[in-house]
């Protein structure tokens, strides 16, 4: 029965367009969800221990992880030069000699997108011109999301006008903490309208939401409002992407697909720095959502330092030795 359900779900996903159009708010459905924290934590604990990939399979999975990375710089000391170097890395994320040794030079390995502050959108757009790589802009008063609402909408429109093809927005956490799902729905719906043709990635700030039930309900409300992706964190919270939160959010994506027929992507972000960690997220996606969520169209890893460790692991596979981090510069 489970195999049949997965097959039918895969058919629905492959047959539909890339955007989530959203649906009218169903408060009963949002409020109905309950999360058993102990069960979720037990499930999450199996992911690092029960499954593993080795040798050439690990190398292949790591290359797939590279293609799902939103290569990100969101620091207070960002400069145009840093952004330009990040864009160069995005177009050639793995050293060519490693790709040659892996027989992967013809695969066109690039990252999924480059994510920057609004100020650097024009710089990144110019640097990536002709590459086909999209620029993602963090918006709506990132990371707190407490700017005046008209200003938040205008920031989205300005980033889209500057060439951003994806917009990462932050919700007002107070809406989720107060259980005001109508307000959260209206907010995300307005963000979606301001995005126009740009894809909308909604950051829930899960480390601030207090309970996994709040995370589940916020996920449902955001998807109903038209989120193309739901994203765990800004990377600035005390607690960012964790596997228990990933279990909860991916299961809400599955429920939403079964309920509406619309597929939504998932993006964990913050604290994902190791190749091993990236593999754990890929395993979670495969087991909870299926192979369609092992591609950049449905899955992103928000990261920067992660790419360095993946390159080091690939070099170890090729040479049998771990190289120094400076052999794999990021910026």
Catalytic (active-site) positions: 168, 231, 267
Alpha carbon distances (Å) from 139 to 118, 135, 136, 166: 7, 13, 9, 10
The whole-angstrom separation of Cα 272 and Cα 268 is 8
Q: Which of 5, 46, 21 is nearest to 244 (CA)?
A: 46
For residue 117, list its beta bridge partners. 138
Tokens of 239: 């607690």
Q: Which of 82, 81, 163, 78 is nearest to 126 (CA)?
A: 163
The whole-angstrom separation of Cα 146 and Cα 41 is 31
- Contact between 172 and 183 under an 8 Å Cβ cutoff? The reply is yes
| β-pairing verdict for 113-117 and 135-138 | parallel
Report the residue count for the chain. Answer: 331
């Amino acid at each position: 029965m489970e195999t049949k359900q997965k097959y039918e779900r895969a058919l629905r996903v492959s047959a539909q367009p890339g955007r989530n159009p959203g649906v009218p708010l169903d408060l009963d459905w949002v409020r109905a969800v309950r999360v058993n924290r102990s069960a979720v934590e037990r499930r999450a604990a199996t992911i690092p221990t029960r499954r593993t990939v080795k040798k050439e399979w690990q190398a292949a999975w790591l290359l797939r992880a590279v293609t799902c990375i939103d290569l990100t710089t969101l620091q207070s000391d960002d400069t145009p030069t840093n952004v330009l170097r990040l864009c160069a890395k995005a177009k050639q994320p793995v050293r060519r000699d490693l790709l040659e040794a892996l027989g992967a030079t013809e695969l066109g390995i690039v990252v999924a997108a480059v994510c920057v502050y609004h100020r650097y959108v024009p710089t990144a757009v110019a640097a990536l011109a002709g590459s086909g790589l999209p620029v993602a802009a963090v918006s709506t008063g990132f990371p707190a999301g407490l700017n005046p609402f008209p200003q938040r909408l205008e920031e989205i429109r300005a980033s889209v006008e500057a060439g951003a093809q994806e917009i990462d927005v932050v919700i007002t956490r107070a809406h989720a903490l107060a259980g005001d799902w109508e307000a959260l729905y209206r907010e995300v719906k307005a963000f979606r309208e301001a995005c126009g043709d740009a894809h909308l990635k909604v950051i829930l700030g899960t480390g601030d939401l207090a309970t996994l039930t709040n995370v589940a309900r916020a996920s449902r409300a955001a998807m109903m409002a038209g989120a193309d992706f739901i994203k765990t964190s800004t990377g600035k919270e005390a607690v960012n992407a964790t596997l228990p939160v990933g279990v909860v959010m991916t299961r809400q994506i599955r429920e939403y697909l079964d309920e509406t027929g619309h597929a939504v992507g998932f993006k964990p972000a913050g604290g994902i720095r190791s190749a091993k960690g990236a593999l754990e997220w890929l395993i979670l996606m495969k087991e909870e959502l299926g192979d369609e969520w092992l591609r950049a169209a449905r899955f992103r890893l928000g990261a920067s330092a992660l790419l360095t460790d993946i390159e080091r692991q690939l070099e170890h596979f090729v040479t049998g030795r771990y190289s120094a981090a400076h052999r794999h510069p990021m910026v």
